[in-house]
Amino acid sequence: MGELVFLKLGGSLITDEYRYETPRPAAIARAAREIMAALQARPDLQLVLGHGSGSFGHFIADKYHLREGNLQDWRGYAEVAAGAQRLNRLVTDTMLAEGLRAVSLQPSASARCHNGELVEMAVEPLAEMLRRGLMPIVYDDVAIDDQRGCTFISCEEILAHLARRLYPARVIIADEAAGIYSGDPQRDAVVRLIPEINARNYEQIERTLATSFGTEVDGGTLRQVRLWFQLVQEQPKLVVQVLTGRRSRLIERALINPAFREGTLIRHEALE
């Protein structure tokens, strides 16, 4: 068996999040080239790709308050699903054009949530695709919720759910920012890049992030760090790396080399 890696392309990387349904084709194409180069250099890699929905999903999801559920108008559910699929089609087609064996998997076709938490999603079809040498692609999507009627599930929530069943060696999150910062680089005058989050410093970093990001509508950075830190506590061998996808070849280098240091590492034990 080769090394199983999950890679997420952030919505802020592959879309302009301030302009409705505006993709960044050059960023998507560059990521596809770097993924292809990495798989050529490391034929043993097995890769699950995920991506955010950016301006294709969040504008409509916020309009209908989809994450909270209890919709009065279920057209919002349909519109968010369609927007996410439009971006996913673009991403998948770009990956195919680069020569990658990319196959889109619609999370909402099997996802089930309980009070906003993803509790069930079909894993075996994805696992079989990996065994056949394919690259499954998942993405931000809507989901049925037994308490709220419906909700919105992020790609990171989906990847974390899959990780609890497939046990990847690494998760790489390529986004607009260079990693996890102590504050919002676009708002705060003084921020610092956090090179590593581990059991020794997690509580202090959580307090810092709660102060800096606690008012974000969807939990944002704090939610992301909590999600991945919980997972590395459950799977101590797992390493999560958050880096920018804007710099050329960083995705490629991170995929190829497990020891590549860039951005922020989230791990159970501190790296000595």
- CATH class of residue range 4-266: alpha beta
The C-alpha angle 239, 243, 245, rounded to 5 degrees, equals 130
User: For residues 107 and 161, what is the distance between their CA atoms, to the nearest angstrom?
Assistant: 11
Q: List, for residues 240-256, the tens digit of each pLDDT value.
A: 999 999 999 999 999 99
Of 229, 239, 236, nearest in space to 202 by CA: 229
Write the single-letter amino acid at 264: T
Q: List, for residues 43-74, the tens digit of each pLDDT value.
A: 999 999 999 999 998 889 888 889 899 998 89
Q: List, for residues 7-23, the tens digit of each pLDDT value.
A: 999 999 999 989 999 99
Banded model confidence at residue 220, pLDDT cuts 50, 70, 90? confident
Higher pLDDT, 271 or 113: 113
Task: Name the residue with tokens 């939610």.
Answer: 223
Please give the model's pTM, rounded to 2 decimal places: 0.93
Strand runs labelled E in the chain: 4-9, 46-51, 102-104, 112-114, 117-120, 135-139, 141-145, 149-153, 170-175, 196-197, 239-244, 264-266
Mean pLDDT, rounded, for 96-109:
98
pLDDT at 270 > cutoff 80 = no
Residues 185/212, Cβ–Cβ less than 8 Å: no
pLDDT at 29 > cutoff 70 = yes
Task: Name the residue with tokens 């919105």.
Answer: 152
Q: How far is CA 20 from the centre of its chain?
A: 20
What is residue 1's predicted lDDT score, i.e. its pLDDT? 64
Q: List, for residues 182-203, the tens digit of each pLDDT value.
A: 877 667 667 889 999 999 999 9
Of 150, 96, 136, 115, nearest in space to 7 by CA: 136
